[in-house]
Amino acid sequence: MLDFITNEQREQYYRYLDGLRNSGVTNMFGAVPYLTAAYNLKEDVAIDVLTSWMTSFNKRHPDE
């Protein structure tokens, strides 16, 4: 899954998604179009990024 994305890219996407979540602009289940627009990602890649972000969220933000 996402083997072709560098750690730097992954962190950039995660920071973007953290900011999107904090903004309240969208429910995070609706974040794929935001990722595709912001980073010109294909939809399947954006879905993988979002899924990875969701599954790692509690580990990255243990106090929330």
* pLDDT one-digit tens code per residue, 12-54: 999 999 999 999 999 999 999 999 999 999 999 999 999 999 9
pLDDT reported for residue 25: 95
CA atoms 17, 49, 61, 26: torsion sign: positive
pTM: 0.89
Q: Identify whether 33 is part of a domain.
A: yes
* 53 in a structural domain: yes
Task: Tell me if 1 is assigned to some domain.
Answer: no
Question: What residues make up the domain containing 32?
Answer: 7-60
28 located within any domain: yes
The residue-averaged pLDDT of 1-21 equals: 91
Sign of CA dihedral 54, 58, 2, 23: positive
User: How many folded domains does the chain comprise?
Assistant: 1
**41, 32 contact by CB (below 8 A):** no
Identify each DSSP E strand in the chain by its residue range: none
pLDDT band at 1 (very low <50, low <70, confident <90, very high): low
Pick the more confident residue, 16 or 4: 16
